[in-house]
Structure 1
Amino acid sequence: MERNASSRALLSKIKDLTASLVKEISEGKSPSVCIHKFRNYCTDPNSNCLCSSDLPKGQQVLTLTRQCHAYRIDVLLRVLVIVQKLLQENRHGSKRDIYYMHPSVFSEQSVVDRAINDICILLQCSRHNLNVVSVGNGLVMGWLQFLEAGRKFDCISCPTTAYTIPVHVEEVKDIVSVAKYILIVEKESVFQRLANDKFCNANRCIVITGRGYPDIPTRRFLRLLVEKLCLPVYCLVDCDPYGFDILTTYRFGSMQMAYDAKILRVPEVQWLGAFPSDFEKYNLPQQCLLPLTAEDKRRTETMLLRCYLQKEVPEWRLELELMLQKGVKFEIEAFSVHTLSFLSEQYIPSKIPKVEVLPGNNFKS
C-alpha cells in the first residue's frame, strides 16, 4: 500500500513536470528545467562551509537554447518516460536496461546515470523510488536473520555462507542478530578469505562487502542494519587512494549522489585499516609495497582537500598525508605474507578492541 502511494505521488509529479513544459511550449516560450545542485564536500581550506547539510548548493537551469542542454533535456525526458512506465506497471529495471532501450541516443551509460540523478532531484526522491535497481549487489554473512518480501535469510544457521544483499531494501524487516559488530571489507577476495577462515564463527560478527565501490542497495542495507541493531561498524580497505575513497563513500556518501546522502551515508563507520603506518608496524617486506603512480598522487592530493577530512576526521587526513609522504601503497592481502590466516586471526582481532578509541571514530559503546 505504501509503495503504491509513493508511486502515485511520483506519477503525479511527473505529470505536473511534463505539463509545465508543454504549457511553456504552447505559450511560445523556450522551456527550461531547473535542477538543484548538491555536494557532500568542498575544498574550503577554512572548513567554513555547509556541506554537511542536505540543502541544495545552488541550481543549474537547462534550456533548449544551448545544444548541450537540449541534449540533456532530451535524454532526461526519454528516461522519464521509461520511469513512468515502470511505476505504472509496478515493474523494476536496471540502469543498464534503460541504456539499451535507446543506446544510439544515450551513447554511454554515464549519460543515463546523470539523467536518473537529475530525475531524482526534480522529483525529490531516491533512485529506488523510481523502480530503478542496481545489478551486482554486495554480499553479507554472519550472525544475522531477516525477511525480504516474505523470503527468509538465515545467515546465523551457517555464518560462513555468503548471501546476496537484497535489491529491495525497503522490504527488509524482522532483522534479528546476536553479532557484536559489523565489518565492511572492500573486496570479495578478502570476504572469501574470512569465510574460509570461519571468521564470523570465531568473532560473532556480520561481514559485508560491496565488491569494490558499493552499490546503492549495499549502502542502504548497511545503514538499515546500523539503525536497527545499533552495532559498531568497522571498514577494512586497501591502503591506496581507491580504498580510501571507498571508505569515505560508506561514511560520507559520494559526490555523484550527494542529493541522497542523507539516506546513504553511515556516519558510524570507523576506519579499521589498512593504514599507511601498518606496513612498518606489521613488518611487511618491501616486495609487498607498490609505488604510488602519478594518478595515485594526484588523486590523493585532491582527496586531502575535502572539507570533511579537516572538520570531522583530521586523523584520517594525517594517514592520507603519510601515504603521500611514504609514496607507497599495499593491498589488504599483503598481510598473508606472514601466514594465510594472519588477517583473520591476528590483524583484525588486534584492531577491534582498539578502534573504539581511535581518533576520528565516533562510536560510543
Structure 2
Amino acid sequence: MSEKYGEVERLWADLQSNCTDELFQQPRDVEITSQDVLSRIEKVILEIITDLSKGQAPLLVIQNRSSWANIRFDDAVGLHMGSGSTVSTIRSDSASSVNRFALTLKVLSEVYKLVQSNTYATKRDIYYNDTQLFGSQRTVDSIIDDISCMLKVPRRSLHVLATSKGLLSGDLSYLEEDGTRVNCRSESNAISVSSNVCGIRNIVSSAKFVLIVEKDATFQRLLDDGFCSRLGPCIMITGKGFPDVNSRLMVRKLWDTMHIPIFALVDADPHGIEIMCIYKYGSVSMSFEAHNLTVPSVMWLGLLPSDIERLKVPKEALIPFKKKDESKLSSLRKRPYIACQPAWEREMVILHERRQKAEIQSLTSIAPNFLTEVYLPNKLHYGGWI
C-alpha cells in the first residue's frame, strides 16, 4: 500500500510541475457557480468510491497550507499559492490521519447539502451539529479551509459563513444580501463586519480614505473622538488584532468598490507590522484565496519605528524586546515582499537596533489627544490625503 501512496504523491508532484498557477488559484473574474462546487465534491467522492471498488484505501491530497514552498509572491496580488509540490496526504488506513479523513468527509457532506439547497450555515453551526465528533471548533475551521483549498474554490462558495469579530464605522452605508440597509455613520457605535461580505451591494460613501486600525482599544478611542467626521469623511475598520477573513474581505470589498487610499495604523512592533502585511499581502495559510483577500495598495501610516525618536516618545512608554519579538522581526525581514519595500526595511532596521517597541497608545504619554489632534492630522495632511 505504501508503494501506491508513493506513486500517487509522485503523480501529484508531476501534475503540479506541469500546470500553470491558474489551476491552483482562481482569478477574481472567474465565477464559481454552485454547480461547479457540487461537481468538484462529486469528483472527490467518485475517486474514493473507485479506490474502494479496487480494494484500495482511499486518500485525500491537499496542498500544504503552512508551507512556504507552495507560496509565490506577486506585488500586485501578494502571497498566493503557486504550483509547489508540498502536499498533505490524509490517508484512510493510517492511524494518525483516519480520523481527519472521516471528519473531512463529514464536513464535505454538510457542504454538499448546503450548496445543493442554496442555504448557508456558520462554522459554529457545523461544529454544534456534533460537538463530540469534531472535538473543537478549531478542527472544523481547519477542515473547511482544507476543503476550500482542495476544491480550489473561495470559502464563501462552500456556503459556510464565519462569525465576524471586526468592526466598521464612518461614512458608509450598504445593503446586506437579505435587503437590510446598514448605516455605519453613527459617531458613537460601530457596526459589526458582515458575516457575508460578498453579499453586500449598493455601497454608498463619500469617504476620502479607509483607516485600518490594529486594536479595538485604539479604534474605540478614535470613535469617541469623532475621528471619522473630524478628519473625514472616512471609514475605519478594525479586525481587533490578527484579522479574521471577513475583515480582510471587507477591506478588499471597499477597495474594489471605491478605489480610495487605504492606510494601516498599527503598533510599532513586529506583531503590528505582520498584521499590516496580512491585510496588504495576505497569509500563507489563506494564500489559496489571495485574490479575494489581499489589498496590495495598503499604506503604512503609523506608528512607525522612526516616529519613536522623531516624536521623542518618553522612554517609560517604550517596551523592551523579548525573544519572540526578535524571532518575529527576523522572520518578517526574510519575507519575499520586503524586497519591494525598502522604506519598510529601514523601519525594521530601526526596530532591530533599538530593541524597543511602542504601542499606538504610547502617544498619549506625549499628550492625551496627541493621536487624534496632532499625529494623524499631520500624517494625512503631509501626504496630501486631506
TM-score, normalised to structure 1, is: 0.87
Instruction: Tell me what 1:28 maps to.
Output: 55
Structure 1 residues 356, 235: CA separation in 2 closer, same or farther (over 3 Å shift)? Answer: farther
Secondary structure at the residue paired with 1:67?
A: coil
Name the counterpart of 1:324: 352
**Structure-2 residue corresponding to 1:166:** 194
Q: Distance in 1 between matches of 2:360 and 2:272?
A: 10
Please point out which of 376, 382, 385 is paired with 1:348.
Answer: 376
Residues 246, 299 of structure 1: alpha-carbon distance in 2 compared, 3 angstrom cutoff? same
Matching of residue 189 in structure 1 with residue 217 in structure 2: yes
The letter of the residue matching 2:321 is L
Partners of 2:83 and 2:382 lie apart in 1 by: 38
Please give the root-mean-square deviation of Cα atoms over the aligned residues, in Å. 2.7
Shift of 1:183: 0.6
Q: Which runs of 5+ in 1 are unaligned?
A: 358-364
Are the equivalent residues in 2 in contact too, given 1:148–1:172 (CA < 8 A)?
yes
1:241 pairs with 2:270: yes
Q: Which residue of 1 aligns with 2:325?
A: 296
**Aligned AA (2:51):** E
* Alignment length (residue pairs): 349
Counterpart-to-counterpart distance in 1, 2:85 and 2:70: 16
The Cα offsets for residues 46-93 of structure 1, whole Å up to 9 and x where unpaired, read as: x9xx98555332242433354333333222112212222333343333
In the alignment, the residues of structure 1 paired with residue 148 and residue 317 of structure 2 have an alpha-carbon distance, to the nearest angstrom, of 44
- For residue 182 of structure 1, give the secondary structure of its aligned residue in structure 2: strand
Q: 1:339 matched to which residue of 2?
A: 367
| Structure 2 residue corresponding to 1:82, chosen from 107, 110, 116 | 110
Identity %: 33
Q: Is the 8 A contact 2:319 2:358 kept in 1?
A: yes
Does residue 146 in structure 1 map to residue 174 in structure 2?
A: yes
Conserved? CA contact 2:166–2:237, under 8 Å: yes
Deviation of 1:248 after TM superposition, in Å, equals 0.6
Task: Tell which deviates more after alignment, 324-333 or 80-89.
Answer: 80-89
How far apart, in 2, do the equivalents of 1:307 and 1:42 lie? 12
Matches within 5 A, 1:351-362: 351-355=379-383
Q: Does 1:274 align with 2:303?
A: yes
Counterpart Cα distance in 2 of 1:216 and 1:294: 29
Structure 2 equivalent of residue 360 of structure 1: none
**1:53-64 pair list within 5 angstroms:** 54-60=81-87, 61-64=89-92
Tell me: CA distance 1:355–1:307, structure 2 relative to 1, closer, same or farther (3 Å): farther
Match of 1:258 among 287, 292, 295: 287
CA distance in 2 between counterparts of 1:63 and 1:193 reads: 51
| Aligned equivalents of 2:307, 2:60: Cα separation in 1 | 50
Residue type of the partner of 1:189? A
Using a 3 Å threshold, how does the CA distance of structure 1 residues 29 and 41 change in structure 2: closer, same or farther? closer
Kept after mapping to 2: 8 A contact 1:335/1:342? yes
- TM-score w.r.t. length of structure 2: 0.83
Look up the match of 2:127: 99
- Assess if the C-alpha contact under 8 Å between 1:185 and 1:235 holds in 2: yes
* CA distance in 1: counterparts of 2:40 and 2:154, whole angstroms: 14
CA distance in 2, matches of 1:152, 1:228: 17
SS in 1 for 2:90: strand
CA drift at 1:212: 1.1
After superposition, give the CA deviation of every residue in 1:273-295 in whole Å (9 maximum; x if it has no partner).
11112111112111111111111
Does residue 210 (structure 1) correspond to residue 231 (structure 2)? The answer is no
Aligned-partner SS, 1:33 = strand
Of the structure 1 ranges 114-123 and 184-193, higher mean CA displacement relative to structure 2 is found in 114-123
Q: Distance in 2 between matches of 1:354 and 1:77?
A: 55
Paired AA for residue 299 in structure 2:
Q
Mind listing any 5+ residue stretches in structure 2 that lack a counterpart?
Answer: 1-31
Partner of 1:224: 253
The answer for the alignment partner of 1:6 in structure 2 is: 33
